[in-house]
Structure 1
Amino acid sequence: MLRWALALTATYLVAEVVGAFVFNSLALLSDAAHMMTDVAGLVIALMAIHLGKKAADDKRTFGYKRLEILAATFNAILLFVVAMYILYEAIQRFREPQSIQSTGMLIVAVIGLVVNFVSMRLLTAGKDESFNVKGAYLEVWADMIGSVGVILGALAIRFTGWTWVDPVIAIGIGLWVLPRTWVLLKGTINVLLEGVPGGLKLPEIRSTIAAIPGVAGVHDLHVWSMASDEINCTAHVTLGEGVDPDSVRVAVTRTLDERFGIEHSTIQTEAPSQACEDDQHLHR
């Protein structure tokens, strides 16, 4: 279903870009930019599913999941540039109004609404089974709103002759895309910098580990994500006197999984006399 939805949206994306230039409509071009997020979202979803099945090897010990993040970063940067270009062109249209072929604009927008509706129906079945599919589903649903806006704009231009409606709609869609693009870019950069995933707080994780029976201290704690669906954690845990290291490791890994959703954790236990200091592990 993802492939069918991708084929539909990608084909319409090309048609909408062509229509935007043929009919001289910035609103169509702006909607095409938003449609690009749908296509990118579907590509990333397919990539995540494919790469999730590809095992790590001796050269790439963490596997290939980070490619999903690289693709999303490129997509966000491209969308940001396109959105800024559309906003610039919209301002120019206010200064120098241009004629718009509202009939062609209306036809392209109606086709877009139909394509988005069909794509949304195709993705409905899998939206509750995968976060990636759900994200793509929400993107398509949001793009339907953009198509409706372009349709209303085309009707307004056709019956009133108000050509300024076109750049207004373009600005509206552009301002809608920019914040979402920034959120996406900020999230992907955080992953690439191996920052703490959103929704998790390092002090809370540290105090939770420290509260586990047998744990005397926690240091050199790192939490990061390889991809959107994989969180990793490493930590040095100082043990109390006479504590079994294996039981503490099991307790810590289970707590990290159940409390914070961290399924991949590497815990190094240390006896009190062997505990190292945080400054021995500073990354310079």
Structure 2
Amino acid sequence: MSESHNHGRQANARQLTAALALTGSFLVVEVIYAFISGSLALLSDAGHMLTDVMALALSLLALRIGARAADRKRTFGYRRAEVLAAAVNAGALFAIGLYILVEAYRRLQEPVDVQTTPMLIVAVLGLIVNIISARLLVRGSGDSLNMKSAYLEVMGDLLGSVAVIVGALSIRLTGWTWLDPVLGALIGLWVLPRTWALLRASVNVLLEGVPEGLDLDALRSEIAGVPGVTEVHDLHVWSVTTGEHNLTVHLVVPTSRMGVQDAVELIAERYSIEHVTLQLEEANRHGAHAAHLHP
């Protein structure tokens, strides 16, 4: 693993640890006051914060496991643990979002009295905690599904806190208790599509699908267009973890194959593929020659 990857992993670990400490310390307060106030919006926010604590802890654990070097049992190392953590986190948050929607519908049918004072106090405190946590996690969320899942968890809570504040003030002014379940449902509706996208991306990596955004047909065409290549088959591209792509391919070439490896190496670099394995098969022979490239 490169030095930049190590630095990035260490920075992500520090950010996750700080966010976990903040979120975990506030969780108990919010859960207690969610039940005291009777607010679904606050309960929704507390539910998201509960998944935050589990998600951040799981993400941190996965980061530690992923830092382990390759061994005889895991020749690619343990980096995919981060993607597995992202999938588990996304699944948990998706389930919470569905529960909130169902509970919101039930409360619209049978309204519940809401105590706005504790609801408002806890929501403001929660907003402060979530803003700090989001700022800690935003830097690493662009290049890691694991960090992105943690960041989405915190952002869901941040918006939840805003919704609870708006709800508490609105209920105080108007007495419309139905605003509380409506706001809770809106939080769920904001989180669900983003969580689904994250879950889909995580599962795609776990199923060794073609990396999102990579055009396999275009890649095949470029490789087939390399001078000297007469046939391309058994082309496979997959990700070990976020942003770390692998490629294997069989190429049929004439006896003289000078330049083919260099050309494919340049193509792989353009597609952000780090590890390339070529099997060069001479067109006039049954044998094959394997070449391993590391752009």
CA distance 1:228–1:127, change in 2 (3 Å): closer
Shift of 1:264: 1.2
Of residues 252, 259, 270 in structure 2, which corresponds to 1:259? Answer: 270
* Paired residue type of 1:262: I
Taking the TM superposition and a 5 Å limit, the aligned residue runs for 1:21-170 are: 21-35=35-49, 38-39=52-53, 42-43=56-57, 46-47=60-61, 49-123=63-137, 126-127=139-140, 131=144, 136=150, 140-141=154-155, 143-170=157-184
* Residue 246 of structure 2 corresponds to residue 235 of structure 1: no
Output the amino acid matched with 2:125.
Answer: I
Q: After superposing the two structures, state which structure 1 stretch, 3-12 or 196-205, moved more.
A: 3-12
Matched, 1:198 2:212: yes
Q: Deviations over 1:60-115 (max 9, x none)?
A: 11211121122122112222221111111111101110111111111110001111
Please state whether the residue corresponding to 1:108 is helix, strand or coil.
Answer: helix
Q: Which runs of no fewer than 5 residues in structure 1 stay unpaired?
A: 277-284
In 2, Cα distance between equivalents of 1:36 and 1:233: 39
Is 1:249 aligned to residue 249 of structure 2? no
Decide whether the 8 Å contact of 1:33 with 1:82 is kept in 2: yes
**Cα distance change on mapping 1:275 and 1:222 into 2, 3 Å:** farther
Structure 1 Cα separation of the partners of residues 88 and 140 of structure 2 = 24
Moved more, 41-50 or 61-70: 41-50
Residue 201 of structure 1 deviates from its aligned partner by 1.6
- Cα distance in 2 for partners of 1:187, 1:127 equals 17
> For the residues of structure 2 that align with 1:120 and 1:79, how far apart are their CA atoms?
17
Unaligned stretches of 5+ in structure 2? 1-13, 288-295
Offset from partner CA, 1:255-277 (integer Å, 9 cap, x none): 21x2110001111111013479x
What is the CA distance between 1:242 and its match in structure 2? Answer: 1.9
User: Which residue in the other structure is 2:192 paired with?
Assistant: 178
> Per the alignment, do residues 249 and 33 of structure 1 end up closer, same or farther by CA in structure 2, a change over 3 Å counting?
farther
1:270 to 2:281 alignment = yes
How far apart, CA to CA, are the structure 2 residues paired with 1:271 and 1:9? 60
CA distance in 2: counterparts of 1:71 and 1:108, whole angstroms: 29
- Checking the alignment, whether the CA contact within 8 Å between 1:238 and 1:275 is kept in structure 2 is no
Summarize the Cα distance change of 1:117–1:155 in structure 2 as closer, same or farther, 3 Å threshold: same
Aligned-partner Cα distance in 1 for 2:126–2:286: 62
The TM-score, its normalising length taken from structure 1, stands at: 0.85
Q: In the superposition, relative to structure 1, how do residues 88 and 184 fare at CA in structure 2: closer, same or farther (>3 Å)?
A: same
Shift of 1:36: 5.2
The alpha-carbon deviation at position 250 of structure 1 amounts to 3.2
Name the Cα RMSD after superposition. 2.6
1:211 corresponds to which of 199, 211, 225: 225
Structure-2 separation of matches of 1:47 and 1:173: 28
Amino acid at match of 1:264: H
User: Once the two structures are aligned, what percentage of the paired residues are identical?
Assistant: 55
1:29 is displaced (CA, Å) by 2.2
Q: TM-score, normalised by structure 2?
A: 0.82
